[in-house]
Amino acid sequence: MIRPVQSNPVTARLADIAAQAGVSEATVSRVLNGKQGVAAATRESVLAALDVLGYERPVKLRRSSAGLVGLITPELENPIFPAFAQVIAQALTRQGYTPVLATQTPGGSTEDELTEMLVDRGVAGIIFVSGLHADTTADMQRYERLRGQGVPFVLVNGFSPKVRAPFVSPDDRAAMRLAVTHLAALGHRRIGLALGPERFVPVQRKIEGFVRALDEQLGVGSDGAGEFVQHSLYTLEGGQAAAGALLERDCTAVVCASDMMALGAIRAARQRGLQVPREVSVIGFDDSPLIAFTDPPLTTIRQPVTAMGQAAVRTLLEEIGGTPAPHSEFVFLPELVVRGSTASVPSAAGRT
Of 3-12, 51-60, 73-82, 187-196, which gets the smallest average pLDDT? 3-12
User: For residue range 145-204, what is the model confidence (pLDDT) as tens digits?
Assistant: 999 999 999 999 999 999 999 999 999 999 999 999 999 999 999 999 999 999 999 999
Helix (H, G, I), strand (E, B) or coil at 7: coil
CB 285 within 8 A of CB 256: yes
- Separation of alpha carbons 248 and 242, rounded Å: 10
Q: What local confidence, expressed as pLDDT, does residue 346 receive?
A: 81
Q: What local confidence, expressed as pLDDT, does residue 65 receive?
A: 61
122 Ramachandran zone, left/alpha/beta (phi>0; psi -120 to 50): left
Q: What does the buried/exposed string (b/e) look like for 36-67 if buried means 16 or more CB atoms within 10 Å of the residue's CB?
A: eebeeebbebbbebbeebebeebeebeeeeee
Question: Which domains are present in the chain?
Answer: 1-34 (no CATH), 68-170+304-332 (3.40.50.2300), 172-303 (3.40.50.2300)
As a whole-number percent, the residues of the chain with pLDDT over 70 amount to 93
Q: What local confidence, expressed as pLDDT, does residue 193 receive?
A: 98
State the alpha helices, DSSP H only, in the chain. Answer: 14-21, 25-32, 40-53, 80-94, 111-120, 141-148, 172-185, 201-218, 222-225, 236-248, 259-271, 305-320
DSSP string for residues in 160-228: -TTS-S-EEEE-HHHHHHHHHHHHHHTT---EEEEES-TTBHHHHHHHHHHHHHHHHHH---HHHHGGG
For the chain, the straight-line distance linking the first and the last C-alpha, in angstroms and rounded, comes to 65
Average pLDDT over residues 126-149: 94
87 Ramachandran zone, left/alpha/beta (phi>0; psi -120 to 50): alpha
CB contact set of 337 (below 8 Å; sequence gap of 6+)? 287, 292, 299, 300, 301, 302
- Separation of alpha carbons 66 and 63, rounded Å: 8
Q: What local confidence, expressed as pLDDT, does residue 107 receive?
A: 77
User: For residue range 45-65, what is the model confidence (pLDDT) as tens digits?
Assistant: 888 888 788 787 776 666 556
Q: What does the buried/exposed string (b/e) look like for 256-283 if buried means 16 or more CB atoms within 10 Å of the residue's CB?
A: bbbbbbbbbbbbbbeeeebebbebbbbb
